């Protein structure tokens, strides 16, 4: 490594590859120094380019015809990295395809003259979910961060709360979008949406 500065410093490396649905690939390889960008790989040309003046010398040496660090990195991203990615995708296909629809409950809470509606969304997988409140069909702005929490069974939960006038609770509805749902799930105050479970009963008669 051609970077020498006195004192304590940190040198970070980050790389990865991506395989798209159409079969095309891409990748990146980047270095940081003391928390700042330092060098990056031009994946098309197979050369490193400096991201700071301090990296000029390193880029020159790494791109030297006798070193060709960028070409080797480019080759790795296009071949071995993609091969490993395909293996991980195959191993994790069942997990990647897993979809568990959410259960949704809307409840109310009265305190100090303020009425709150809670939209509890739980038991869903994967993690990404969109939960919003609407009043008469119009979305209510929500400034706070919506925090998704894990459950012990590997599913997730989230609760989104909104303050409402006590006599207008019926005008509010909770809207949930999740990859397991074919359409937006809409639940109003006092309602509970549970996953439906079909049960088959077998009756046997003996003569």
Domain containing 124 equals 98-193
Domain C-terminal end among 74, 95, 116: 95
Looking at the fold, whether 103 and 135 belong to one and the same domain comes out as: yes
Domain stops at, among 37, 68, 95? 95
Q: How many domains, the chain?
A: 2
Is the domain of 110 the same as that of 165?
yes
**What pLDDT digit, counting tens, does each position of 113-131 carry?**
788 999 999 999 999 999 9
What is the structure's pLDDT at 120?
Answer: 95
pLDDT in tens, 133-180: 999 999 998 877 789 999 999 999 999 999 988 788 788 999 999 999
Same domain, 59 and 135: no
Q: Determine the Cα–Cα distance for residues 186 and 61; give it in Å rounded to an integer.
A: 60
Cα–Cα distance, 12 to 10 (Å, whole number): 6
Kindly state whether residue 174 falls inside one of the protein's structural domains: yes
- Chain-centroid distance, C-alpha 173: 26
At 29, which CATH number? 3.30.500.10
| Cβ contact 126:98 at 8 Å | yes
With respect to residue 167, please indicate whether it lies within any of the assigned structural domains: yes
Residues 101, 125 contacting (CB under 8 angstroms): no
Residue 128's pLDDT is 93
Q: pLDDT higher for 189 or 193?
A: 189
165 vs 189: CA distance, rounded Å: 13
């Amino acid at each position: 490594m051609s970077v020498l500065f006195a004192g304590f410093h940190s040198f970070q490396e980050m790389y990865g590859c991506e395989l798209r649905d159409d079969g095309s690939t891409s990748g990146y390889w980047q270095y940081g120094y003391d928390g700042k960008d330092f060098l990056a790989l031009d994946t098309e040309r197979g050369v490193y380019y400096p991201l700071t003046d301090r990296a000029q010398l390193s880029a020159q040496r790494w791109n030297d015809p006798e070193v060709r660090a960028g070409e080797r990195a480019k080759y790795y991203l296009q071949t071995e990295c993609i091969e490993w990615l395909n293996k991980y995708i195959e191993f994790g296909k069942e997990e990647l395809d897993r979809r568990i629809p959410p259960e949704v409950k809307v409840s109310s809470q009265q305190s100090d003259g303020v009425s709150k509606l809670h939209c509890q969304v739980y038991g869903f997988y994967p993690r990404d979910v969109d939960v919003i409140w609407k009043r008469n069909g119009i979305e209510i702005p929500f400034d706070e961060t919506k925090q998704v929490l894990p459950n012990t069974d590997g599913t997730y939960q989230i609760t989104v709360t909104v303050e409402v006038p006590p006599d207008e609770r019926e005008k509010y509805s909770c809207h949930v979008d999740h990859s397991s749902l074919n359409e937006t799930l809409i639940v109003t105050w006092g309602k509970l949406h549970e996953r439906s479970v079909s049960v088959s009963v077998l009756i046997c008669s003996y003569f």
